[in-house]
Amino acid sequence: MLGINKPLWPVTHNGVAQAMVDHVIAATAIDRTLISANQCQAQYAQRAPVITDAELAVDGAGPLMGVLAGLRYAQTSWLLICPGDTPHLHAGWYRPLLDHIKSAPTVDAAVIHDGDRRQPLHALLQSNLEANLTDYLGRGGRSVLGWLSELHTADIPIISPRQFRSVNRFDDLL
């Protein structure tokens, strides 16, 4: 997308234009939000505290680095993760994840499943997984799906999968 920082790109919902990340934050509406970002930190800091994974730098680890940073900064027993480029989320999209861990607290992770596949970056993770993820990365693992497959992960089916699509091209905004 022309090298832009996608979560800051404006999208229009109900006639109101706002950055994708603002829509994600509003749809998630939890007590404490952290934004994992290595660029445009001042812009993100206007929305929530910013954490970075720059000091963790593991080549090719992509989103797992943001997850690892989140696990390091988590101050609760569970960490909810969500990418900033999913502006179609419905309010409260994460509630099925919370409901599941209340009934099955022994899982390591609860992940949205859209009927076809896991949506690995829409997940609720036990915050004590930092060492596990560090080990996975140290063994050369680079896939969020691969890491989740090594954990006791619950797939949580949802009824409106289109809300979880990420924006990777301008056409995805339609």
User: Quick check: is 61 in a domain?
Assistant: yes
User: Quick check: is 107 in a domain?
Assistant: yes
User: Quick check: is 133 in a domain?
Assistant: yes
Side-chain half-sphere exposure of 130, counting CA atoms within 13 A: 13
Q: Which domain range does residue 140 map to? A: 6-173
Q: Residue 173 — very low, low, confident or very high, per pLDDT cuts 50/70/90?
A: low
Supply the pLDDT for residue 1: 45
Q: What are the DSSP E strand ranges found in 38-152?
A: 50-51, 78-81, 109-113, 118-126
Supply the pLDDT for residue 174: 64
Run of H or E residues at 63: helix 63-73
pLDDT tens, position by position, 50-93? 998 777 766 666 899 999 999 999 999 999 999 999 999 999 99
Nearest-angstrom CA–CA distance, 25 and 32: 10
CATH code for the domain in which residue 115 is found: 3.90.550.10
User: Quick check: is 32 in a domain?
Assistant: yes
User: Quick check: is 1 in a domain?
Assistant: no
User: Quick check: is 29 in a domain?
Assistant: yes
Q: Report how many domains make up the chain.
A: 1
User: Quick check: is 90 in a domain?
Assistant: yes
Which pTM was predicted?
A: 0.91
Largest Cα–Cα distance of the chain, in whole Å?
47
User: Quick check: is 131 in a domain?
Assistant: yes
